[in-house]
Structure 1
């Protein structure tokens, strides 16, 4: 399961990746929170390009666009958390040592926590560093001729990776891992994986724009980084995408649907379904939706994970079918226990009395009720529960209005009486005991024990 400590949405991710001479290298890299005084429009001097495209800056300062891109996505959805690993491959098609810039869109609610750059058999792993330190590290490594990668965010869902010193014909893979929350709308769960950067409307008057700007819109006085967030696109580009998903929904699913793509679904076990989307084109976002198969009882799922010496758990509850919440015709036997001790004096007594009166008025003639008032002792309105006809309800309301807050808080005997006040007809009713109090007592264990020993089939609310 992929569920870790909460992650804040990372405003700017800067990754400086150094290549040394081992098969697995831990480099000085950064996923850092950008200081608030740094403006997005001035972070990266190289204007970024479209999803699925890489812009190489050659030795003569000219640019070369490479559209072809291979993308592989692995998602592990556990309850309401989606853990994603995104791997993208590209190759330097020129005969020059170049710097490349690639744009990839990510969900706006995601938090990236890992990035690897893979060159041949060598892997360079990112480490978190402060923004300015990582920026300095990137520039130093670039000048030294080392492989180096810089990842930045231009807008909440547009991330870029800039890689320096790419050799002629060299293939580079970038692997990013992030977490996002599953979207829940009424009874529908969904995730969306962006595969294109939508065209943005740019308002305002044109202002100075860098001569080597690669965007298709000039900067304006209202959008000063327009040339960075309007990359060129090519509808005919070959951009294959393969997506593999392990879905542990936490309940039996009634439907699993992708509205825009054809998917394959295989049930790997009772808890997991494997969903795949093979080698489609990145011409529109991928969306997956699923719904629970609801029964008359709620579903509970407990997910656990160990990370290092720490243990984490997530409890997920899925409500029952709507039929459960429809109007019930089962008659009720409601026993109200109301606290009129000294601690209830003032607004607490007034609110409790008003709530009791409203509850009495909502009773049906087929229901039965009784009221138990307690402070240092307790007093019962009726010897046993009686029908909730108008005359009896009026009697109960008068009793409630004359309650006065005084005395100690001794609920134990009142609770015991309520739980033992069944008669020969009580089995015909749904018995509910409603406990109204604002007090805190020191003998709660004694109260819990009395309820556990005498609750039978009654329902106790407080």
Structure 2
């Protein structure tokens, strides 16, 4: 293979993968070794997947390499080794990738791309022509910063070699300098059939997880079949936290500061739910939204205040002002939620601005406020220009509180919701239209249910090129992370 003939192109959009010619998995391809090695240091994970494949035919054939990686990860390295020669991939930016991918495939070159395959994973796929009775080694490395949610970090590893493998290994090493408080292994591959294949070990600051299934085990577990393993290992853990100022890690002239206090009192919150009841929410979406809201209302604290807004082409308020989460008010609100019915178009602009007004009309000292928008569509009524809506909302909120946007399904304009959330110190989350959509909504709310700190400012001396250092809210079970470059050889002080 001409070294110049290999290009690896990664496109960040959701695109269906197309190989240069049809590829089928047959007995003529042998995946004789499949290793996954993951190292986590201070919550930063580097994972390498190495697959060794042999062409058993007396003629050349195309061999497919297909793996799944977490959505928040990025590929830092990819190479193929053929007959002792290494061919390194070239990772392209999103703007260039689509055109270059098409050109590469049309010329018969090897190219690869990423597409979304579900809630938590993206798929990388490429193929290469391998000579008769020859071998190819695929090596892919991806990296990710593990984010703390609900008091734990999660490392997700997918294994899908699509045939039984003689030499199969997953090895994980976690090192946290403050110590590891707990470790748990779950997932599709952590079942009774594979119990003996999973081993864990712990020391004060380190933990190891290994997964060495026999060839026989690779076909008999619940998520396995004649094509071998197909599932995930989910490793969850948390760290010891002894310093109230957080943990500081210094390496190669840079620092990483993580801050996650838990020994502070919760702050009463004012929360307004803005609920899309337009026609596209008909059926299961609306039913699941009702179920989630009923559970969320039950979880409000006695010192919290709340409001409910429903909208289609018209905006309606349950009550004109925020009410305290007393038992009587909660029962009244639940009766209202049970009667929400879908109809009409979608006026997101008017609905969100009304939510802002509801909070700003009734300020309460010693509290924090949150707006949560639940929608499945584009704006189709009132102001429909998304740029104008984003500007209107940003001006109205004025950085006083966050806006969280929950988008139902794949058809929702998720880029619009993401931008609107980020410009207002919140996040957007896609709610998948599965049987557990109400649990997804509940899970998101649990992440923001207990605010502990507001108006946080982290100050550093002797550093530059800092990431974000100001935060409106810190929620229990999450974590604040700041990194930057050290200019005076050490971080002299940290104040919060």
| Same fold (TM > 0.5) | no
TM score, norm. by length of structure 1: 0.45
TM score, norm. by length of structure 2: 0.42
Q: Radius of gyration: which is bigger?
A: 1
Q: Which structure shows the higher helix fraction?
A: 2
